[in-house]
Structure 1
Amino acid sequence: MTLEPSRVLARIRVIDLETAGTGPHDVCEVGWQDVVREADGLWRITDERGARLVNPGRPISPETMAVHHILDAHVADAPLWKAVAPGVLQPEGGVVALAAHRAAFEQRYCRPALTGGAPWICTWKCALRVWPELMRFSNQMLRYQRHPEGLVHELGLPAHRALPDAYVTAHHLRDLLNAASLEDLLAWSGEPGLLPRVPAGDHRGKAWRDLSDTALQLLAKDRDRDVRFSAETELRRRGEQPDAPPPAPRQPTLF
């Protein structure tokens, strides 16, 4: 959908990255898809999308190559991430936010110096809140559980390439924005994920409301940040406070 600039009230750019490994500069492809709010207040997907190959400055690992199938030869003549990023992350006209599915991954590479400090929406965290009845929340599982209106199947393929994944994520973002406010999505994205069910262990698959206070207190000390947050949220809903962690030992002194 091509829109007249005068009709666009706000723009969010969905970002997806493919990488060569886990290093701080390992981006080998970036894809983007814009979602805009029009004068009628509804959010819609536009024709503004694209992808760029990026030279990660190192060989692509076999593990990541097996996921996205980008070869070293594909990126040999591509520009480095620091040359590509500003034009993609700070487009002309600006954005009210950037978005990604499990955005913490993209934020590792899209540092504030490259984004201009734009806030982020995590569509994974927001999907947990808006569609808690769903069983799985990966980008592709959301696609096939929900069948978002207007998603052209072929444009969302192949999976695990930057542009198709950004295109699919944008459809989730559009529907989230039309179901909840931008302010809510930004607030939820700044917190850990509020899981609708216990993800593992003896209580796997159970809703938090079905757990005893004792089980919740134990899960509120779990190593997983999202599990802790979800258990703590249920305890607070019941009027209970999760047990505070023991205070850190004082730094010993010489006196």
Structure 2
Amino acid sequence: MPADHLVIRVVDLETTGGRAGTDGVVEIGWQDVEGSDGTWRIGAERGARFVDPERPIPARTQAVHHILDGDVAGAPTWLAVAPAVLQPPGRPLAALAAHRAAFERRWCRDALTGRRPWICTYKCALRLWPDEPSHANQALRYGRRPEGLDRRAGLPAHRAGPDAYVTAHLLREMLREAPLETLLAWTREPALLPRVTFGEHRGRRWDTMSDDFLAWVLTRGGFDADVRFTARRQQALRAERPGTEPPARLL
């Protein structure tokens, strides 16, 4: 493989639930994105495998991905499947990627990934496409309509292989707008939210909120890291550009 050839493997997991300590993986899907000389394309390497979660699949999660206990009966366990997917022999990866990567990282731990860096396409979409009405994977699929995405290959939704395929096409579009290093840096930070996600101002753009509102968010407890990060970023931007506070008092 040429020295300038880069491979990013997009992964997607379907699980029995959201707690890595008590829930297990039932399916893993992957799709490579490859780049050289600054040009990125969808790679040929893709696939999906059932995984034995070593516990029953609850009805509430069967209703999401439609994978039943009988589907995974006799499948290999997570520790038997994961290493070859996350560290493919003879195919060094520049990074791993997932939409809302924090979820996949609950199971794809450093010991299984070789401590490779991650790209969260959700966090990157918030930065690159803040005006999209939704930043969910399937909403972006139709909102951005990435070039070359085969509708049939991206179905059914909420299955590991098709979801990884869709995410890979969105990632390729992102890499056309921002360098790999920038996507990695955005992933390391909390999410930069374009709109307020709580209270009476839900849906309003953060850049329209008053200085008093930003100060209230940062002095009041109970807000998550994404909200606090966004409020601090707005404060920093206004300090760099004095006089940018919105004229209307919103709190």
TM-score normalised over the length of structure 1: 0.89
- Residue number in structure 2 paired with 1:32: 30
Number of matched residues?
235
List per-residue Cα deviations over 1:201-248 (Å, max 9, x = no partner). Answer: 1212222221111111122345222111111110111129xxxxxxxx
List per-residue Cα deviations over 1:83-122 (Å, max 9, x = no partner). Answer: 1000000012210100000000000000000001111000
User: 2:17 is matched with which residue: 21, 25, 37?
Assistant: 21
- Residue number in structure 2 paired with 1:134: 132
Runs of 4+ in 1 over 6 A off after TM superposition: none
- Residue number in structure 1 paired with 2:234: 234
SS in 2 for 1:189: helix
SS in 1 for 2:48: strand
> In the alignment, is the contact (CA less than 8 A) between 1:196 and 1:208 conserved in 2?
yes
User: 1:76 is matched with which residue: 73, 76, 82?
Assistant: 73
User: 1:198 is matched with which residue: 187, 196, 199?
Assistant: 196
Supply the distance in 2 between the matched residues of 1:132 and 1:225 (Cα, whole angstroms): 18
Is 1:90 the counterpart of 2:87? The answer is: yes
- Residue number in structure 2 paired with 1:162: 160
User: 2:40 is matched with which residue: 28, 38, 43?
Assistant: 43
SS in 2 for 1:121: strand
TM-score normalised over the length of structure 2: 0.90
User: 2:122 is matched with which residue: 112, 119, 124?
Assistant: 124
- Give, in angstroms, the shift of residue 48 of structure 1: 0.8
> In the alignment, is the contact (CA less than 8 A) between 2:18 and 2:103 conserved in 1?
no
> In the alignment, is the contact (CA less than 8 A) between 1:8 and 1:36 conserved in 2?
no
Structure-2 change in CA distance of 1:74 and 1:120 (3 Å): same
- Stretches of structure 1 that go unaligned for 5 or more consecutive residues are 241-255
> In the alignment, is the contact (CA less than 8 A) between 1:199 and 1:205 conserved in 2?
yes
- Stretches of structure 2 that go unaligned for 5 or more consecutive residues are 241-251
Supply the distance in 1 between the matched residues of 2:200 and 2:235 (Cα, whole angstroms): 19
Supply the distance in 2 between the matched residues of 1:22 and 1:224 (Cα, whole angstroms): 18
User: What letter corresponds to residue 40 of structure 2 in structure 1?
Assistant: W
> In the alignment, is the contact (CA less than 8 A) between 2:110 and 2:116 conserved in 1?
yes
SS in 2 for 1:109: coil
Supply the distance in 2 between the matched residues of 1:237 and 1:66 (Cα, whole angstroms): 44
Supply the distance in 2 between the matched residues of 1:50 and 1:6 (Cα, whole angstroms): 24
> In the alignment, is the contact (CA less than 8 A) between 1:30 and 1:162 conserved in 2?
yes
> In the alignment, is the contact (CA less than 8 A) between 1:14 and 1:32 conserved in 2?
yes
Supply the distance in 2 between the matched residues of 1:215 and 1:116 (Cα, whole angstroms): 43
- Residue number in structure 2 paired with 1:223: 223
SS in 1 for 2:199: coil
Structure-2 change in CA distance of 1:35 and 1:8 (3 Å): farther
**Correspondences of 1:53-72 after superposition (within 5 Å):** 53-72=50-69
List per-residue Cα deviations over 1:113-152 (Å, max 9, x = no partner). Answer: 0001111000000000111121110000001111111000
**Correspondences of 1:169-180 after superposition (within 5 Å):** 169-180=167-178
Is 1:10 the counterpart of 2:21? The answer is: no
- Give, in angstroms, the shift of residue 200 of structure 1: 2.3
- Give, in angstroms, the shift of residue 8 of structure 1: 6.6
List per-residue Cα deviations over 1:52-77 (Å, max 9, x = no partner). Answer: 10000000011111100101011110
User: What letter corresponds to residue 151 of structure 2 in structure 1?
Assistant: H
- Residue number in structure 2 paired with 1:249: none
SS in 2 for 1:156: coil
